[in-house]
């Protein structure tokens, strides 16, 4: 594949409601899109980094800079470029996995579109639709939380994930259980707790949760292993699982019994598939996480979520969970499921007038 150039585009997408997690509240999603232009096709990728480095060390401006200054130019010298050669070409540059993932996905998308191959088929999808869960942010009150959960259940979501943090954990879970019974329910702390909270977190065990996600710091595998020894609820890791090796180590240490796979967090869909394979080899179920992606990133996530080891509903919600107008034709929930795009590549393309409306910056990097 010969790339003629790459466009880096920053868009600002208003969220339908503020999204509050333990690491902050977002009302507008600033997202970075990468468009790879080749003689045969154009490919799209989305970088999940936030405006500020609150989920991980990456953030939108840094991702745009490292793409323009180092990552995209690094592809210039790669003979017979294809998606499998992107990660090795970018390996000399440390970190910046979300920026690397956006570029690799765009190269993969361009290649697949040129060959008429759907993303899901290329990755090894075995389903045409994927079951969908939804992530419910921290709300002002318990009644507001119950209203939000009721709305999502009415919309057909098959699993509820509650964001938790110190001071907002056992009570919200208890309230949801009392109102809605034994619906599929899990919690996500985004590293908000310390080992001193371990005993308190065992208080979540009686509620029959599907999992407790990433209560401790990204690098605290021992802390997660100790919690796992004290509770019957599976421990799930998100921020800690940055590679297939990290997944193998975490499983070996007993630090996780479930893994949330996010292609952006691990450097791309090819590493995401390797993590899927490592987990499958250890009998560890995985599910597809989300980072408020527009339809571009969402399409690729849905294709990934159709792989055989994705045994739990993911955060692949419908477009209207976050956006009144998505960049692409919206993903709509049908009986709690989203359809895996069937077209070549990721199967969707941003709608030009929508894209122009929300674009705040574009950079063209010729190769």
Ligand X SMILES: O=C(O)CCC(=O)N[C@@H](C(=O)O)c1ccccc1
Strand partners, 354: none
Whether the Cβ atoms of residue 148 and residue 172 lie closer than 8 Å to each other: no
How far apart (Å, rounded) are the C-alpha atoms in residues 319 and 328?
A: 9
Phi-psi region of 124 (alpha: psi -120 to 50; beta: other; left: phi over 0): left
Nearest-CA neighbor of 360 among 45, 10, 6, 7?
10
Q: Is 79 helix (H, G, I), strand (E, B) or coil?
A: coil
Residue 60 or 190 having the CB closest to ligand X: 190
Residue 10 or 135 having the CB closest to ligand X: 135
Residue 11 or 89 having the CB closest to ligand X: 11
Under rule CB under 6 A, residue 289 binds ligand X: yes
Q: Which of 172, 267, 290, 341 binds ligand X (CB under 6 A)?
A: 290
Give the C-alpha distances (Å, rounded to integers) separating 317 from 116, 160, 217, 233, 331.
Answer: 26, 11, 26, 24, 8
How far apart (Å, rounded) are the C-alpha atoms in residues 200 and 312?
A: 26
- Which listed range, 77-85, 119-127, 167-175, 286-294, lies at the site for ligand X (CB under 6 A)? 286-294
Q: Which of 6, 31, 41, 55 binds ligand X (CB under 6 A)?
A: 55
E-state strands within the chain: 3-21, 24-38, 42-47, 129-131, 133-136, 159-163, 185-188, 212-213, 235-237, 258-261, 286-288, 337-339, 359-366
Under rule CB under 6 A, residue 263 binds ligand X: no
Residue 38 or 301 having the CB closest to ligand X: 301
Smallest separation (angstroms) from ligand X to the CB of 317: 5
Smallest separation (angstroms) from ligand X to the CB of 315: 4
How far apart (Å, rounded) are the C-alpha atoms in residues 202 and 113?
A: 48
Count interface residues toward ligand X (CB under 6 A). Answer: 15
Smallest separation (angstroms) from ligand X to the CB of 129: 17
Spell out, one character per residue from 128 to 147, where the chain touches ligand X: x when CB under 6 A holds, - when not: -------x------------
Q: Which of residues 218-257 bind ligand X (CB under 6 A)?
A: 238
Smallest separation (angstroms) from ligand X to the CB of 133: 8
How far apart (Å, rounded) are the C-alpha atoms in residues 222 and 116?
A: 46
Residue 21 or 349 having the CB closest to ligand X: 21
Smallest separation (angstroms) from ligand X to the CB of 259: 12
- Which listed range, 63-71, 196-204, 245-253, 290-298, lies at the site for ligand X (CB under 6 A)? 290-298
Q: Is 94 a catalytic residue?
A: no
Alpha-carbon torsion (17, 22, 60, 84), positive or negative: negative
Nearest-CA neighbor of 320 among 90, 105, 156, 91?
156
Q: Which of residues 95-114 bind ligand X (CB under 6 A)?
A: none
Under rule CB under 6 A, residue 50 binds ligand X: yes
Q: Which of residues 185-204 bind ligand X (CB under 6 A)?
A: 188, 190
- Which listed range, 89-97, 152-160, 284-292, 354-362, lies at the site for ligand X (CB under 6 A)? 284-292
Q: Is 262 a catalytic residue?
A: yes
What is the DSSP code (8-state) at residue 226?
Answer: H
Alpha-carbon torsion (352, 358, 361, 367), positive or negative: negative
**Residue numbers at the binding site for ligand X (CB under 6 A):** 21, 48, 50, 55, 135, 188, 190, 238, 289-293, 315, 317
Residues known to be catalytic: 163, 262
């Amino acid at each position: 594949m010969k790339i003629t150039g790459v466009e880096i585009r920053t868009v600002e997408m208003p969220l339908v409601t503020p999204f509050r997690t333990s690491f902050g509240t977002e009302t507008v999603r600033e997202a970075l899109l990468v468009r790879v232009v080749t003689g045969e096709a154009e490919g799209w990728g989305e970088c999940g980094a936030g405006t500020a480095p609150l989920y991980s060390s990456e953030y939108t401006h840094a991702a745009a800079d490292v793409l323009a200054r180092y990552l995209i130019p690094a592809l210039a010298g790669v003979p017979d470029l294809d998606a499998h050669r992107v990660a090795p070409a970018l390996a000399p540059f440390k970190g910046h996995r979300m920026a690397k993932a956006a570029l690799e996905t765009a190269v993969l998308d361009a290649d697949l579109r040129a060959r008429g191959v759907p993303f899901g088929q290329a990755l090894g999808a075995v389903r045409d639709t994927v079951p969908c869960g939804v992530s419910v942010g921290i709300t002002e009150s318990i009644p507001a939380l119950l209203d939000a959960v009721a709305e999502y259940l009415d919309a057909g979501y098959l699993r509820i994930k509650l964001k938790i943090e110190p001071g907002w954990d056992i009570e919200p879970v208890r309230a949801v259980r009392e109102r809605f019974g034994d619906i599929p329910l899990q919690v996500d702390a985004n590293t908000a707790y310390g080992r001193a909270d371990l005993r308190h977190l065992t208080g979540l065990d009686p509620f029959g949760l599907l999992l407790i996600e990433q209560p401790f710091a990204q690098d605290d595998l021992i802390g997660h292993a100790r919690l796992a020894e004290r509770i019957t609820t599976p421990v799930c890791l998100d921020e800690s699982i940055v590679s297939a090796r990290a997944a193998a180590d975490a499983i070996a240490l007993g630090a996780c019994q479930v893994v949330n796979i996010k292609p952006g967090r691990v450097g791309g869909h090819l590493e995401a598939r390797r993590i899927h394979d490592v987990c499958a080899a250890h009998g560890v179920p995985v599910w597809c996480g989300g980072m408020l992606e527009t339809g571009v990133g969402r399409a690729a996530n849905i294709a990934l979520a159709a792989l055989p080891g994705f045994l739990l509903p993911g955060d692949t919600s419908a477009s209207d969970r976050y956006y009144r107008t998505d960049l692409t034709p919206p993903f709509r929930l049908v009986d709690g499921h989203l359809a895996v795009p069937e077209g070549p590549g990721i199967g969707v393309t941003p709608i030009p007038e929508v894209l122009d409306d929300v674009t705040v910056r574009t950079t063209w990097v010729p190769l």
